[in-house]
Amino acid sequence: MTEQERIQKQRTERTRDDDVDVTVTAKKGEQLKGELDELLDEIDSVLEENAEEFVRNYVQKGGQ
């Protein structure tokens, strides 16, 4: 078995294990999505207003 196949096999096995807890995973997924939504709201409130200008004006001299 090649290294790639071995990793693929490990990945597949793990996926199968996870299927057992499919309900828990779904619930956890919803919770994570809720948390991310809140975080994105917060990012909206602190993100530099003119992103294009901010990114364009961020110019550095090279260092080490």
Partner 1 sequence: MAIAKILGIETEYGVVGGPDFDPTTASSLIVNAYAQQGRTRISWDFNDESPGTDARGIVGNGALAPMIETHLANTVLTNGARLYVDHAHPEYSAPECATPQEATLWDQAGEEVMRRAQLVANESLAPEHAIALYKNNSDGKGNSYGTHENYLVDRAVDFAAVVRAMVPHFVSRQVVVGAGKVGSETPFAAAADPSYQLSARAEFFEEVVGLETTLKRPIINTRDEPHCDAERFRRLHVICGDANMSPVATMVKLGSTALLLAALEDDGLKDFPSPPARPVRAIRDFSFDPSLRTTVEDEDGRRRGAWDYQDELWSLADRYVSRHGGAAVAGVDEVRDILVAWREMLDGVRDDPESVADRVDWVAKRRIVEGYRERYGLGARDAKLRAIDLQYHDVRRDKSLALRVGLRATHDEETVRRAVAEAPTSTRAFFRGECVRRFPDSIVSANWDSLVFDVGHGPLQRIPMMDPTRGTQGLVGPLFRDNPTAGALVDALNG
Q: Which residues are at the interface with partner 1 (CB under 8 A)?
A: 3-4, 7, 11, 14, 32, 36, 39-40, 42-43, 46-48, 51-52, 54-64
| Burial readout 9-29 (b: 16 or more C-beta within 10 A, e: otherwise) | eeeeeeeeeeeeeeeeeeeee
Of 20 and 46, the one with the shorter C-beta distance to partner 1 is 46
Q: How far is the CB of 1 from partner 1 (least distance, A)?
A: 13
Q: How far is the CB of 22 from partner 1 (least distance, A)?
A: 15
